[in-house]
């Protein structure tokens, strides 16, 4: 007579081998994916700035000027006192970058003469090479 094994589960050794294999695969794959995740966030930030740019241009069409630096991007959602022909809201929600921070805005722009500057400081919250800006997009 053939005896059947009562416990039809995995042994601790088998589970440990599977965990080691998964960890080894993750160690080989994750370093290649992480830089792509950061680049994807930068692409999302560029898309967000494109939407803000469209809203700012609509604001200017209605009000003959862009919001001041002091009014900021909030002027796209709430009518500022200085707006003469505000037909907003031009944006539904406050715009946040992929790192959950507000986009920076300045008018008149220092980098875009006669226009405005919009930028995100990237993942490190400091002005650095990882910044995403509207003046570099126009090059």
Euclidean distance between CA atoms 38 and 91, whole angstroms: 26
Tell me: the pLDDT tens digits for 54-104?
999 999 999 999 999 999 999 999 999 988 899 989 998 888 988 899 999
Q: Which two tokens stand for residue 57?
A: 């241009």
Four-CA torsion 77, 119, 48, 70, nearest 10 degrees: 0
Model confidence pLDDT, tens digit, residues 14-60: 788 888 888 888 877 777 766 677 788 888 888 898 999 999 999 99
What's the whole-model pTM score? 0.70
- Residue 139, pLDDT score: 43
In whole angstroms, what is the distance from residue 73 CA to residue 96 CA? 11
Domains and CATH numbers, the chain: 39-137 (3.30.700.10)
Cis peptide before 89 (omega within 30 of 0): yes
The mean predicted confidence, pLDDT, of the chain is 83
Separation between Cα atoms, residue 19 and residue 14, nearest integer Å:
9
């Amino acid at each position: 007579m053939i005896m059947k094994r009562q416990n039809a589960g995995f042994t601790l050794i088998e589970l440990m081998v599977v965990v080691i294999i998964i960890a080894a695969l993750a160690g080989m794959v994750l370093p290649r994916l992480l830089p792509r995740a950061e680049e994807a966030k930068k692409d999302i930030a560029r898309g967000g700035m494109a939407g803000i740019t469209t809203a700012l241009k609509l604001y200017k069409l209605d009000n003959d000027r862009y919001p001041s630096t002091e009014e900021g991007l909030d002027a796209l959602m709430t009518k500022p006192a200085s707006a003469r022909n505000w037909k907003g809201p031009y944006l539904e929600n406050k715009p946040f970058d992929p790192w959950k921070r507000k986009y920076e805005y300045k008018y008149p722009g220092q980098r875009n003469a006669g226009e405005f500057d919009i930028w995100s400081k990237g993942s490190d919250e400091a002005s650095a090479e990882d910044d995403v800006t509207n003046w570099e997009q126009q090059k």
